[in-house]
Amino acid sequence: MKFLDQAKIYISSGNGGAGCLSFRREKNIAMGGPDGGNGGRGGDVVFECADAMNTLIDFRYNQHFKASKGEHGKGDNRTGARGEDCVIRVPLGTQILDEDKETVLYDFTELGERKVFLEGGDGGFGNARYKSSTNQAPRKTTPGWPGQELGIWLRLKLIADSGLVGLPNAGKSTFLAASSNAKPKIADYPFTTLHPNLGVVKAGDYDFVIADIPGLIEGASQGQGLGDRFLGHIERTNVLLHLIDCTQDDIIAAYHTIRGELKEYGCGLIDKEEIVALNKCDALGEELSNDLAKTLSEAIGKPVHTISAVSGKNVNGVLYELGAKIYKIKHKPDSETEKEFNPADQ
């Protein structure tokens, strides 16, 4: 299935049905009077967060969604039937944006979540509605109210606990394949990964989801390489795993390149918990790899792991640390949460 994380669609709710102009005409019933019923309400446009969906590919060729209009009122005081709702199923993590692609109108973060986005038009009144003591034979009716129309953007941001970041060929896809059942494309050339991948990891008592995104290069925030559009898929993560190819010339510059792009992108990525690991250490040997890790650690002020995604060396240790950090963030003590949201601190 092709991955698609952005799509523009056009939605419209149903028009209300018109009211009915009718008078009762039956044998042996005198003064039947008006009996025109009201029109039915138009259908709503409803979004539903559905399981078993991980892409917006369904909206590639189907971009127009319209709810049914309400039926007109009928004689004998019969109200028209309500229009059928238009239910649009979207994957978990979908955001609904205004046409400017900036304003977030709604964000789906829970499975089964439903949102009535556009309401259908009300039905018009039949002439029975206007009957009064001074107007016993009204001929007045009203048409149904029109529905609403809107052009919107759908943007998908994957729901994951941890995100993999690094330069192209840092071994992110290999790490994902080694630590989960995901089958990303792996090759010995840059930009092998062209769209995000998800993998479910089990490390001891910890279960979490890792998101692998296409590699970044210097200038990605200005559109270099594949740009930074895929960074949105790690905005919701708790911890970042920063992989660096230990066989490249300047590992310190490689680290700062990625950190610079995260800072330029914003959205709090630069402030997320980070684990740093030198990958492909089997290519240099244990002694040289440890020396490089020590040099990088002193330069950035953070501990640095040495791993090999291909051989699996030290991968479990990194996964355990990832799981522990994710668990700690997800299960903050209630006192910390209360302190963070205490109005008295304002």
In this predicted structure, what is the pLDDT of residue 153?
94
Residue in 204, 15, 242 with CA at minimum distance from that of residue 120: 15
Percentage helix, strand, coil for the chain under 3-state DSSP, each rounded to 5: 25, 25, 50
Mean pLDDT, contiguous 10-residue spans, the chain (346 residues): 80 96 82 90 95 84 94 94 95 91 90 93 94 90 95 88 86 84 66 73 83 75 66 85 89 90 86 90 87 90 89 88 87 51 41
CB 95 within 8 A of CB 154: yes
For residues 27 and 32, give the distance between their C-alpha atoms in angstroms, rounded to a whole number: 10
Strand 64-66 relative to strand 104-107, pairing: unpaired
DSSP letter for 56, please: -
In sequence order, which residues have a C-beta less than 8 Å from that of residue 198 and are 6 or more positions away?
Answer: 54, 158, 160, 182, 209, 210, 211, 212
- How remote is the C-alpha of 3 from its chain's centroid? 13
Query: What burial class does residue 273 get, using C-beta atoms within 10 Å of its C-beta: 0-12 exposed, 13-18 middle, 19+ buried?
Result: middle
Cβ-contact 28, 172 below 8 angstroms: no
Single-letter amino acid, residue 61 = Y
Per-residue model confidence (pLDDT) at position 192: 62
Residue 33, Ramachandran bin (φ over 0: left; ψ between -120 and 50: alpha; else beta): left
Which residue segments constitute the domains of the chain, with CATH numbers given? 1-156 (2.70.210.12), 162-333 (3.40.50.300)
Q: Give me the half-sphere count of Cα atoms (radius 13 Å) on the Cβ side of residue 126.
A: 24
